Structure 1
Amino acid sequence: MPELTQAAWEGLPEDLAEKLIQLRELILATADDNPAIGPLEEKLKWGESAFLTSATGSGTTVRINRHKKSEDKYAFYVHCQTDLIERYKQLYGDRLVFDGRRAVVFDVKDKLPIDAVSHCIAMALTYHLRS
């Protein structure tokens, strides 16, 4: 994991950091599984781990961090001017929790719904490929 990412998560409760690591790994695996996405650039944006499709320009940035400084919630974020959250709600409104127009929120005590989240991540990382 890049040092910048590790630094962003220093001091977080261990269970929260573990969930963020799992979510990070899912983002990287999702990108690896889709050649259209290409390699991701991982950096910090607003103090949060951010994943950019700099090489291909295929998608919008995905960020991950704890949610609203919570000890037991974490989230992945997409650009608020996309329609991604609305699309996620149509597909997974019964399985995922949303905050506004930019966040999908998870509780550390819950199992991450891998299939739904992976699909949402893929939709974000290929957002600019839509016709």
Structure 2
Amino acid sequence: MSSDIQAIFDRYPAHVRPCLLRLRSLILDIAESVNLGKVEEALKWGEPSFQVKSGSPIRMDWKEKTPDQYYLFFHCQTKLVDTFRELYSNSLPFEGNRAIVLDVNKDLPEDIIRHCLTLAMQYKRIKHLPLLGA
């Protein structure tokens, strides 16, 4: 992790940092286990951003105005969040066509989030498939 990305994680409140680091860990694990290649980590709009060659960028963040929530952001001009909503509207809250909203006080629905992240990280290969091939 680069020092500027580490600095962002270090600024998150103590109760949120482990949640966001868990998401980062999932992204890195998926990239390795599905052989998606190197994960490019960067800051976009001041938020940690992750991308592999075959995927759409994934960002994550926590906002002071919603202290009990943290977010996974996806490119709003993709079919990602619409597909996630179709598959998981009973399990996940969403913000428009750009984010999954997670609660710091609840367990991460890891299997569902892993599936969403996997679809995002393969988006360029599967964007033409109904429901992204899910």
Please say whether Structure 1 and Structure 2 have the same fold, judged by a TM-score greater than 0.5. Answer: yes
RCO higher in 1 or 2 (8 Å CA, sep ≥ 6)?
Answer: 1
Which residue does 1:21 correspond to in 2? 21
1:15 is paired with a residue whose SS is: coil
Count of residue pairs brought into register by the alignment = 127
Distance 2:17 2:38 in 1: 24
Q: RMSD of the alignment, in Å?
A: 1.4
Which residue does 1:34 correspond to in 2? 34
Identity of aligned residues (%): 38
Superposed CA deviations along residues 35-93 of structure 1, whole A, max 9, x for unmatched, are 1x21111111111110111xxx3110001111464322101111000011110011111
Closer, same or farther: CA 45–69 of 1 in aligned 2, 3 Å: farther
After TM superposition, give the deviation of residue 11 of structure 1 in Å. 3.0
Moved over 6 A (4+): none
TM-score, normalised by the number of residues in structure 2: 0.88
Q: Which runs of 5+ in 1 are unaligned?
A: none
Conservation of the 8 A alpha-carbon contact between 1:13 and 1:71: no
Distance 2:20 2:75 in 1: 19
Distance 1:24 1:14 in 2: 16
**Which AA in structure 1 matches 2:98?**
R
Matched, 1:81 2:77: yes
